[in-house]
Amino acid sequence: MIASHRHRFVFVKTRKTAGTSLEIALSRHCGPADIVTRISPEDEELRTAAGGVGPQNDDTDPSSYAHMGARRVIEVLGRDTWDAYFTFAVERNPFDVVASSYRYSARKPTFTKSFAEFVRTPKRMERLALNERLYRLDGQVVVDRVYRYEELPAAVADMSARLGIALDLPHAKQGSGPHYRELYGPGDADIVAQRFERTIREFGYEF
């Protein structure tokens, strides 16, 4: 999460949506009073190399963390500040999010699950489903804008225009591999579709 008083915006970071790249790009424009939550040590090295501001103003509150949801951000900043600033997040096709998360997990030597087992693990699906809750309160979207990951270049251009800053998005976590559909077997897409029904319906996503 980044909250900039200098540029009057709040970025709510979701998972598997180029969030770290956006944090790095946005942190380059942060002032000393802005809140920048910490990321992994490896990503902090990338942020430093890119000229971004590191973690600041988040160490006094143990609830300050990268994937802080809107409810907690409002508690930290105050409702008046939240309402006055441009607030935004990024969403991604859930079928692709699940596939991306699986590929990331599969790189670990101790990981042995098949994709079919992965999508049938409730805890993993629950964690990925947290994305849509981060930018909602009581089921309602409360950020000013939810950008689509699939339209990221246009989203970055819109952010730059709205905030009056030139965002240069680094590829902090470059993903690669075959199309997400190639991972899906019988019944897998139905499970994902049911778990992420609201996101798929509201953003018009398809398998």
| pTM, to two decimals | 0.89
Specify the length of the chain in residues: 207
**pLDDT at residue 76 tops 70:** yes
The count of other CB atoms within 10 Å of the CB of residue 162 is: 15
Per-residue pLDDT tens over the stretch 178-206: 799 999 999 999 999 999 999 999 999 99
Please say whether the beta carbons of 120 and 186 come within 8 A.
Answer: no
Domains of the chain, with CATH numbers?
2-203 (3.40.50)
- The set of residues, in sequence order, having a beta carbon less than 8 Å from that of 84 and lying 6+ positions away, is 8
- Name the band, by pLDDT with cuts 50, 70 and 90, for residue 175: low
Chain segment 101-152, per-residue pLDDT in tens: 999 899 899 999 999 999 999 888 888 888 889 999 998 999 999 999 999 9
**DSSP string across the chain:** -EEETTTTEEE---SSSSHHHHHHHHHTT--TTSEE----HHHHHHHHHTT---SBS-TT-TT--TT--HHHHHHHH-HHHHHHSEEEEEE--HHHHHHHHHHHHHTSTT----HHHHHT-HHHHHHHTTHHHHTEETTEE-SSEEEEGGGHHHHHHHHHHHHTS------TT---SS-GGGG--TTHHHHHHHHTHHHHHHHT---
Is residue 115 a contact partner of residue 102, using CB atoms and an 8 Å limit? yes
